[in-house]
Structure 1
Amino acid sequence: MSSNRATLKKVADTLGLSVNTVSRALAGKDAVKESTRQLIEKTAADMGYVPNSMARSLVLGKAMTIGLVITNPSNPFYARLISSVEEQCRNHGYSLLLFATEENPANERTAVQTLYRWGVDGAIVVPSQQSVESWELLKRYDIPMVLINRYLDGFDCDFVGVDYEQGAYDATRQLLQTNAERRVFLLEEDLEISTVRSRISGYVRAMTEAGQGPERHLVQRVPTNRLDSSTLPWDPAAAYRAANDLMDQFVPGTAVLVGNDHFALGIYKALVEAGRRIPEDIEVFGYGNHPFSAYMQPPLSTMALPAESIGSSAVNLLMQRIDRTASSDEVSHIITPAEMILRESTRHLNGAVISAGATR
């Protein structure tokens, strides 16, 4: 380390003050006169003083670091989530340590071991849901943890997520408004995770309430590529192939709800090639409100996911656990609704095409 680096002692010696006074002033503590604080801050800035995070951690008894474990950073939802979590951690004075597990339990175990070695103060986790073993281990390490977006059945832990079931229910109800007997297909990824199960549950509930029995619950599972690739988690080509296989059943008046907007890209391509018009022949409803959805032709109706709110709520809840201001024996579940974005790929009750960008 360079001997020219400005230290607390050098700042204190320059001003003829104690190291303790300088430290308290720069940390924003009380019992330092405002005029003295301003002088210390100006002198420290002029000398190029930068706080030593390792020393600060020793003083505070904290690493001042949060671990964020997600499955795939190329997922647009998770990209926004990362930004939100990082901003909130920075506001609290914490650094962020990021891991991407790619739905791999072995990667999860490595992430947990690394979190422990780094001595992080807490973790925000999107589990692969293939095993709870790694997260049980993190709890045994006594590291505060908040699950986000996906829950783990039977795992007692704070959770912050989206109401995927209600979102799919609302989207299906929207598609059934013009005709409660219409055929509504749901194309979902072939991956056993809570978000997929919740959307299927919401779809089935809406169809059942409309008087359509199990034989009319037209759920189609699209092969996943998440377990084989670290690229975008959804493949429009897989949905394109699934739509072509179903094209004979996509008669005029049919509607299609997809579990993510990337699948809608494949559906659009298949329908256009088959000469089907959207929404005049087939209505299409997406999920996720990814950036491209408003620029599809026609613009895609979809459910917007509140990534920023999820990230902010997760960090705030974790900070309560770290600071022990939340009840230690009461698990918190924070569920945020998705927002319906209606565009021209679907119709109103009266059959008129919905204006682009309209929301409800």
Structure 2
Amino acid sequence: MNSPRRVTLQDIATSVGLSVNTVSRALAGKSAVSEATRAMIKAEADRLGYVPNTMARSLVLGQAMTIGVVITNPSNPFYSRMISAVEQRGSVLGYSMLLVVSEENHTNELRAVDSMRRWGVDGALVVPVQPEVEHWRRLMAAGTEMVLVNRDLPELDCDLVGIDYERSAYEATLHLLDTGVEQVYLLEEDLQISTVRARVDGFHRALAERGVPPESVRELRVPTRRRAANTLPWEPAEAYELAQHLAADVPPRSGILVGNDSFALGVYRAFSEAGRVIGDEVAVVGFGDHPFAAYLAPGLTSVRLPAEQVGAAAVDQLVARIGRRGSAAPRARISFPGDLVVRGSSTHRQPAAADPGSS
């Protein structure tokens, strides 16, 4: 039995009575083809089951038409949403995606660099394990364009697309202070990464601006196990254990800024078990606005992060770099603001559990 033959541009051209060149330009979205002709050609291509030959296109263009994406862990809701945006935007621009997960492990990241060099990707979107940079320098020196995503490596001459975490934490802390809290707490990750540093800086900037005395502030680092491959990126358990001690000591009219919503889950459980009322005597604000945030009781006030915008913008920036490979264009630093979604955990009331929140 003969295998089915792959439909070619010539097949479409013969079917519609036009040249192969016209068919090729129409399917590539190029000009000099009327919209009516383009629509007719696309309809016939769909009818015949035409699938573009990416390998052949790569040979013609001299590019792999592949973007490498290195992230820490896809179970992080921010990164799962970002990956979807990268895949969708990359597909529109004709690029496939090679995904590698580092699990916050430097050795895994070195393997990721090797994988991208073997596959010959045209460019890489990287959420780096910090602070090492030499392997990334080697990748760039080998001709692979690179854009950092969400985390910064200031030592690296590289574009960055991410979130303005400093501003977001600053505004979230001001919101807590505006609720009238008298004691302020910060529960943050213990990883030495740029996103954590930015949130801590924003927290302290707000306190300094409002003249909050040091004795009214307490900063705690939640021990994480994110370097272990068998754990989720954030474990509520660690925050729960820490918050069990905190719940016994926190005075009424306190406010807690939590570095991510998963840690906030641990805080909710510990305070509930201790009979402490979140949203009344204790205000809580999280980061990430994960899907469960609106369905806690009370709903969790949280900073919503525009993962889809970050992913799409990172692809656009990388593809632009690939297009002008070797140029000395200034490095870009693109940041998107977080959006504070206010719910019952910081408004001293008890709303319905599924309050969708407001910005």
Return the TM-score normalized by structure 1: 0.90
User: Which residue number in structure 2 is paired with residue 273 of structure 1?
Assistant: 273
Secondary structure in structure 1 of the residue aligned to 2:329: coil
User: Which residue number in structure 2 is paired with residue 285 of structure 1?
Assistant: 285
| TM-aligned CA deviation for residue 302 of structure 1 | 0.7
CA distance, structure 1, for counterparts of residue 203 and residue 42 of structure 2: 58
Q: Deviations over 1:207-235 (max 9, x none)?
A: 22222344443110011010113442111
Is the 1:86–1:96 contact (alpha carbons within 8 Å) kept by the matching residues of 2? yes
User: Which residue number in structure 2 is paired with residue 357 of structure 1?
Assistant: 356
User: Which residue number in structure 2 is paired with residue 69 of structure 1?
Assistant: 70
CA distance, structure 2, for counterparts of residue 38 and residue 340 of structure 1: 44
Is the 1:320–1:326 contact (alpha carbons within 8 Å) kept by the matching residues of 2? no
Q: For residues 72-221 of structure 1, what are the structure 2 equivalents within 5 Å?
A: 72-179=73-180, 182-221=182-221
Is the 1:105–1:130 contact (alpha carbons within 8 Å) kept by the matching residues of 2? no
Distance 1:267 1:39, change over 3 A: closer
Is the 2:284–2:346 contact (alpha carbons within 8 Å) kept by the matching residues of 1? yes
User: Which residue number in structure 1 is paired with residue 313 of structure 2?
Assistant: 313
CA distance, structure 1, for counterparts of residue 202 and residue 34 of structure 2: 60
| TM-aligned CA deviation for residue 337 of structure 1 | 0.8
| TM-aligned CA deviation for residue 323 of structure 1 | 1.6
CA distance, structure 2, for counterparts of residue 313 and residue 143 of structure 1: 18
Deviation larger for 287-296 or 208-217 = 208-217
Secondary structure in structure 1 of the residue aligned to 2:125: strand
| TM-aligned CA deviation for residue 303 of structure 1 | 0.6
CA distance, structure 2, for counterparts of residue 68 and residue 297 of structure 1: 37
| TM-aligned CA deviation for residue 139 of structure 1 | 1.1
Is the 1:72–1:230 contact (alpha carbons within 8 Å) kept by the matching residues of 2? no
| TM-aligned CA deviation for residue 167 of structure 1 | 1.1
Secondary structure in structure 2 of the residue aligned to 1:6: coil
Cα RMSD after superposing both structures: 2.6
CA distance, structure 2, for counterparts of residue 235 and residue 196 of structure 1: 16
User: Which residue number in structure 2 is paired with residue 343 of structure 1?
Assistant: 343
Is the 2:261–2:290 contact (alpha carbons within 8 Å) kept by the matching residues of 1? yes
Q: Which runs of 5+ in 1 are unaligned?
A: none
Q: Deviations over 1:137-181 (max 9, x none)?
A: 11111211111100012211100111111111111111111437x
CA distance, structure 2, for counterparts of residue 331 and residue 37 of structure 1: 37
User: Which residue number in structure 2 is paired with residue 240 of structure 1?
Assistant: 240
| TM-aligned CA deviation for residue 94 of structure 1 | 1.1
User: Which residue number in structure 1 is paired with residue 58 of structure 2?
Assistant: 57
CA distance, structure 2, for counterparts of residue 34 and residue 281 of structure 1: 63
| TM-aligned CA deviation for residue 324 of structure 1 | 1.7
Q: When the two structures are aligned, how many residues end up with a matched partner?
A: 356
Residue type matched to 1:294 in 2?
A: A
Distance 1:43 1:339, change over 3 A: closer
User: Which residue number in structure 2 is paired with residue 258 of structure 1?
Assistant: 258
Is the 2:298–2:350 contact (alpha carbons within 8 Å) kept by the matching residues of 1? no
Distance 1:230 1:166, change over 3 A: farther
CA distance, structure 1, for counterparts of residue 34 and residue 345 of structure 2: 63
